[in-house]
Amino acid sequence: MNSKWIYIALCTLSIGNHSFAQKKATSEQTIEKLLQRMTLQEKVQMIHANSSFATAGIPRLGIPPLIMSDGPHGVRVEHGNDWIVDKNVNDSGTYLPTGNTLAATWNKSLGYSFGTVLGKEAKYRGKDVILGPGINIIRTPLNGRNFEYLSEDPLLISKMVTGYIKGVQDQGISACVKHFAANNQEIQRTSINVQMSERALREIYLPGFKTAVTEAGVNTIMGAYNKFRGQWCSHNNYLLNQILKKEWGFKGIVISDWGAVHNTTEALMNGTDIEMGTDIGSPAFPYPQFYMADTVVKLVQNGQIAESIVNDKVRRILRIMNKTHMLGGKRIPGAYATKTHQQVAQKIAEEGIVLLKNERNLLPLTNTIQSIAVIGENAVRKNAMGGGSSQVKATYEITPLVGLQQQVPHNTTITYSKGYSIVRNATADTSLINEAVAAAKKADVAIIVGGWVHGYDYTKWSDNAYDAEDTDKPDMNMPFGQDALIKAVIQANPNTIVVLMGGGAIDMRQWIHQVPAIVQAWYPGMEGGTALARILLGKVNPSGKLPMSFPKQLSDCGAHKLGEYPSKNGEVRYNEDIFVGYRYYDTYGVTPQFAFGHGLSYTQFNISGLSLKKIGKQVMASVTIRNTGTMAGAEVIQLYVNEVKPVVKRPTKELKAFEKVFLAPGQQKQVQLLLPAEAFEYYSEPHKKFVHQPGQYWILAGNSSDKITAKAAIQL
């Protein structure tokens, strides 16, 4: 390249650098100029809702409204301004698998794909903020919203939520990580006061949110309904000002949950930036009377509140508007209900469905199977509109029955019988059971599709049942008499497969020893039936792993054994402390039904040859994994850390790294997993920070928390 072109290149580069810095300065200047041109009234109208899901814009200054929408696994059915909706609006879109299905893939890259679809669809639907992901820790199997959340483990949450948020925000849409913090039950969610140790807060309940802020750069965060240590989460000084904005340096927007603001001064002073939903369903409470509305104008005008308090909130809103090009600049077009999005939904379902048990290699069903008896109302039930605010009006939803009908070889006959009724308080129905038994007797295999349900009549918000917002499960018992059905069918046909839909663990003790094959299918989205059928028929090798433990019975669960639930005198104390999920079962010697990280494959893998190499305070682990079977598949290498002589009580093991590896039959790979310095720390309450205790540590490698196949010690 001759000197002339080099000169031009250098000029272009310098202009480039200059323009980047200049652009940043411009955006800050733009924001300040806008702020200076705003009246107090205009500023205040930006910090509270002016309809069900939006705040007001300022047209004269070119500031648009900030339009939000649920939910975590699809853009919610249109709600317009206060649910006044154009009947012709196209709001049938992609119903992605729910959060726990995504987490069950243990595939970090799928988090990004998931978020990309959500961001594109939100953009198409004219939204600026999508109200997800929900990442509260799965503390009890009873929480009605576990289906929306990801895991009992903070590292798995952190790794999956990063891709999700980046996927959404790379589409120019703001994600809204929720519900900050300690919203781990739905019972009494708008009144309960949560108490826990600082160590439990820092080691278990905050890391997912911290990662969302400091690594994923989330634009907005939603304050939870409950109280934490006596103060409402949506205006909690410790959580919002001290931790979120000061310690973590969060520059985005704190949005209250809908109706979660209760006090003007606290909301103004404790970090709430936008008040939403205070008037839920009661038009008698018009927007100007919100806590952060006309009252604020008066407080500033009479000098009780400094206008700088309001300015900071508006500055945050303008920054995020600027970051997502709402104040000018090129906005990426959206896309809606596309084939590609549906394929992503299917892929996530295929990688998230978990094969829990497979005796006699009953699965996958081979071509020798000529007849299948499909049993259970969950086989024909559509779930997209269920669960509460996370509802989605799906373009379509392939149920398990339809999936099987579409995927089986043409010469295979399929019968269907209801088996049980999804009706409030329904018990075992003898005639339905007899019909199912008769069908099972005549078939080569029986597939019972059971488990939990969202609700009964989705057109009614209040008609929630088990896996739904604003409600928790009463216990872990199978509803609608499913236990009796399963026991009767297995007697009639030993080749019976049980498929469980739903948000998590269910009590299997009455039949688990008789049933040879069990599949956990969660709420697998609009292509869930296709994905399930392809797994059952061996077109896809299952690779899902449980993102939460499945206890045998509720009383085995740490939160119920050591902790309080649902509450005592309006408070719930997390006495189990950091011992949540497998941290409890392993440390206290309680064997779960199925362990955290458990999931079978149709092929076999061997994880061996663990070696460790110190890199400063970090450790690079290297393992060899080989597909020793005859089918291509994927395995999740999980690395757990155990401190040999801790100075405080620590869990027997804690997940500190994982990697999903895809291998052809006979293929072998050397996989490296980095354990950062933080992997060897615990939170010291006396020091008020994470500390490292020098000593010996075991690194445990395996494909489940209860299947460790290699271990190595290291002195750190």
Under the rule (CB under 6 A), what is the footprint of ligand GLC?
70, 131, 178, 257-258, 389
CB neighbour list of residue 159: distance below 8 Å, 6 or more residues apart: 108, 111, 658
CB 560 → ligand GLC: shortest distance, Å? 24
For residue 86, indicate whether it is catalytic. no
Q: Give the CA-trace dihedral at 549, 553, 559, 563, to 10 degrees.
A: -160
CB 184 → ligand GLC: shortest distance, Å? 13
CB 221 → ligand GLC: shortest distance, Å? 12
* CA atoms of 502 and 518, how far apart (whole Å): 14
> DSSP letters along 275-335, please?
B--TTTT-TTS-GGGSTTTHHHHHHHHTTSS-HHHHHHHHHHHHHHHHHTTTTSS------
* CA atoms of 547 and 153, how far apart (whole Å): 7
User: Residue 178 or residue 382: which is nearer to ligand GLC going by CB?
Assistant: 178
Q: Could you give the angle at the alpha carbon of 177 between the alpha carbons of 689 and 452, nearest 5°?
A: 110
User: Residue 167 or residue 387: which is nearer to ligand GLC going by CB?
Assistant: 387
* Choice among 91, 128, 257, 273 that is catalytic: 257
User: Residue 185 or residue 601: which is nearer to ligand GLC going by CB?
Assistant: 185
User: Residue 70 or residue 377: which is nearer to ligand GLC going by CB?
Assistant: 70
Give every strand in the sheet of 66-69, ordered side by side: 49-51, 54-55, 66-69, 129-130, 174-180, 220-223, 253-256
* CA atoms of 268 and 349, how far apart (whole Å): 43
User: Residue 178 or residue 545: which is nearer to ligand GLC going by CB?
Assistant: 178
Neighbours of 567 (CB within 10 A): 16
DSSP code of residue 201: I
CB 276 → ligand GLC: shortest distance, Å? 7
Q: How far is CA 13 from CA 24, 222, 438, 474, in A?
A: 17, 40, 76, 64
User: Residue 70 or residue 351: which is nearer to ligand GLC going by CB?
Assistant: 70
Q: Could you give the angle at the alpha carbon of 169 between the alpha carbons of 190 and 342, nearest 5°?
A: 90
Neighbours of 246 (CB within 10 A): 11
CB neighbour list of residue 605: distance below 8 Å, 6 or more residues apart: 625, 626, 627, 628, 629, 633, 635, 663, 703
Extract the tokens encoding 504: 């998590």
* CA atoms of 386 and 391, how far apart (whole Å): 6
* CA atoms of 362 and 456, how far apart (whole Å): 33
- Using an 8 Å Cβ cutoff, are 634 and 662 in contact? yes
CB 222 → ligand GLC: shortest distance, Å? 7
CB 463 → ligand GLC: shortest distance, Å? 16
CB 70 → ligand GLC: shortest distance, Å? 5
CB 193 → ligand GLC: shortest distance, Å? 17
Among 155, 231, 225, which Cα is nearest to 188's?
225
Extract the tokens encoding 458: 């989705």
User: Residue 254 or residue 634: which is nearer to ligand GLC going by CB?
Assistant: 254
- Using an 8 Å Cβ cutoff, are 53 and 84 in contact? no
Extract the tokens encoding 610: 């663990």
Q: How far is CA 276 from CA 60, 191, 256, 279, in A?
A: 24, 17, 6, 8
* CA atoms of 451 and 501, how far apart (whole Å): 5
CB 677 → ligand GLC: shortest distance, Å? 34
User: Residue 43 or residue 178: which is nearer to ligand GLC going by CB?
Assistant: 178
User: What are the residue numbers of the active site?
Assistant: 257
